[in-house]
Structure 1
Amino acid sequence: MRDLLGPQLPYLRRYARALSGSQKSGDAYVRAVLETLVEAPDTLAGTTHPKRDLFRLFHAYWSPHQQAGGLPNAGRHALLLTAVEGFGMEDAGAILGIEQADVAQAVASARAEIAAAIRSRVLIIEDEPVISMHLEQIVEDMGHDVAATAMTRDEAVAEAERVRPDLVLADIQLADGSSGLDAARDILERFDVPVIFITAYPERLLTGERPEPTFLVTKPFEPETVVATIGQALMARYPELAPAA
């Protein structure tokens, strides 16, 4: 069971953290699912779709404990499953226990919710100019303002203090050998702001063994992945500013 499901746990942690809006809460739900498997190890025995069925088991536990915040439930679930976790519509439907057509409708509703949602000022911390420009375009296409960009830890902290962003997008490895994690830690010591980390190795930050990011985007990324993660991060952090239902 460890060999079968172990490789999928980092991605379940990412999903659970995004849904709940915090590492602590998301990881607690994942632990609860693992405890269920320890008590009933035959639950997923013989599965040929370990990732899908692990996520399905997670939702069986998550659904009675739905939390407020973020996108409306079906929409945020469907959008994160398809845009961030890479499931097709059919598998997302199996995870959520709904028809494939309903998944497509939920995704469309979530996209519309994001498009109508709050406008924010974004700080981008990225040392690759092409990637930085790509992120700027995605952010601006969503209707947000790029308040500043930075390439190093010190520059990021200085820009954050200057512009006071509503959201930070941060690469892990920066131009001068400094870390986006350290930059974000410095910024969060000054004021509270949601941070989305962008990394080619998300599994290294999804161990559940230490303080780790809540929101992660994997490089190389698709624009929709960034859009979905920004939408969830902002509306989980600022639910009062989300559009009325």
Structure 2
Amino acid sequence: MATSDRDINDMDVLVDHLPYLRRYARALTGSQSSGDAYAAMTLEAILEDPQGLDLSLSAKVALFSAFHQIWKSVGAPVSTEESGLKATAQKHLAKLNENTREALLLHTVEEFNSVEIAAIMQIDTDEVDKLITTARSDMEDAIAGNVLIIEDEAIIAMDLEALVADMGHRVTGVAQTYEEALSLGKSDKPDLILADIQLADNSSGIDAVNDLLAHYGDIPAIFITAFPERLLTGERPEPTFLIAKPYRQDQIRSAVSQAMFFSSTETLGV
């Protein structure tokens, strides 16, 4: 089917939202390769039949809705890993009620409201609210652990520390620089790392995380940055959990809960 000028213009707008669909798909599947595959399938389906895109919705909602049509049609599978942290993630994922993880990610990470999520998932808003409440309860009650915070802004660091402690986790330390992060991380092994990208002495939070991973092996990491678009470039690897500043507290709670629950995130390489 040939595309009209309007369809082409709509595709240009959709492409602007594609990095965020990829972020969502990777967090949803637990795998960058699997998530990217579903995002690519979505774009291919739209290109093949642009008239199937619901133009009564905003561009981002329409794109995510198209993704969910494919996601549902293939049974919402999760990446199949035979061992390691991803196998643990799959085991935990199987315990969640149907659609709860999707609703929670759409709301807290992608910042859709209940009406938009209802349009994306093709359910009513009351069900959306119930799914989000259930997901939060399931994940926050599942696992408590040790969290290292790498953040050079004192007010933000204090807020993160309070949030993490309120969720029942123990903060192993707050680092403002690469060197502090390595020292704290190696002296008290964290189960999760919350990391800013650029630190007080212009050192890299990414480097700190990667060096701790090299020391310990796989540890879930959540990156927090004022410029998320700089990291969602399509180059591999990318962070599964990436939160933009200024963040909302429920975004942090959601990401921390999911990372702890699934014992895994894919971290950013250099």
Between the aligned partners of 1:181 and 1:29, the Cα distance in structure 2 is 27
- Which range moves more in the overlay, 69-78 or 222-231? 69-78
Tell me the CA shift for residue 92 of structure 1.
0.5
The match for 2:181 among 114, 133, 156 is 156
Q: Which residue of 1 aligns with 2:253?
A: 227
Residue 65 (structure 1) aligned with residue 91 (structure 2): no
Tell me the CA shift for residue 47 of structure 1.
4.6
Deviations 1:148-169 (A, max 9, x none): 1111112212211111100000
- Contact persistence 2:175–2:181 (CA under 8 A): yes
Residue 205 (structure 1) aligned with residue 234 (structure 2): no
Structure of larger gyration radius: 2
Tell me the CA shift for residue 41 of structure 1.
2.9
Partner of 2:148, secondary structure, is strand
The match for 2:171 among 143, 146, 149 is 146
What stretches of structure 2 of length at least 5 have no aligned partner?
A: 1-9, 79-89, 265-270
What stretches of structure 1 of length at least 5 have no aligned partner?
A: 239-245
Tell me the CA shift for residue 66 of structure 1.
2.4
Q: Which residue of 1 aligns with 2:106?
A: 81
- Contact persistence 2:54–2:62 (CA under 8 A): no
Q: Which residue of 1 aligns with 2:262?
A: 236
The match for 1:113 among 121, 138, 152 is 138
Residue 95 (structure 1) aligned with residue 120 (structure 2): yes
- TM-score, length of structure 2 as denominator length: 0.83
Residue 123 (structure 1) aligned with residue 148 (structure 2): yes
Between the aligned partners of 2:263 and 2:218, the Cα distance in structure 1 is 10
> RMSD across aligned C-alpha pairs, in angstroms?
1.6
Tell me the CA shift for residue 40 of structure 1.
2.1
Residue 34 (structure 1) aligned with residue 59 (structure 2): no
Tell me the CA shift for residue 117 of structure 1.
1.4
Between the aligned partners of 2:125 and 2:63, the Cα distance in structure 1 is 19
Sort the Cα spacing of 1:48 and 1:78 in 2 relative to 1 into closer, same or farther, 3 A.
closer
Identity %: 48
- Which range moves more in the overlay, 78-87 or 41-50? 41-50
Deviations 1:62-108 (A, max 9, x none): 22232244454422111111112111111101111211100111111
Tell me the CA shift for residue 56 of structure 1.
0.9
- Contact persistence 2:55–2:62 (CA under 8 A): no
Q: Which residue of 2 aligns with 1:18?
A: 27
- Contact persistence 1:21–1:237 (CA under 8 A): no
Tell me the CA shift for residue 48 of structure 1.
4.2
- Contact persistence 2:144–2:260 (CA under 8 A): no
Q: Which residue of 2 aligns with 1:167?
A: 192
Partner of 1:193, secondary structure, is coil
Partner amino acid for 1:8? H
Between the aligned partners of 1:207 and 1:91, the Cα distance in structure 2 is 26
Partner amino acid for 1:237? S
Residue 218 (structure 1) aligned with residue 229 (structure 2): no
Task: Please identify runs of 4+ aligned residues in structure 1 that moved more than 4 A.
Answer: none
- Contact persistence 1:27–1:208 (CA under 8 A): no
- How many residues are matched? 238
Tell me the CA shift for residue 209 of structure 1.
2.1
Residue 178 (structure 1) aligned with residue 196 (structure 2): no
- Contact persistence 2:220–2:263 (CA under 8 A): yes
Partner amino acid for 1:150? A
- TM-score, length of structure 1 as denominator length: 0.91
Tell me the CA shift for residue 23 of structure 1.
2.2
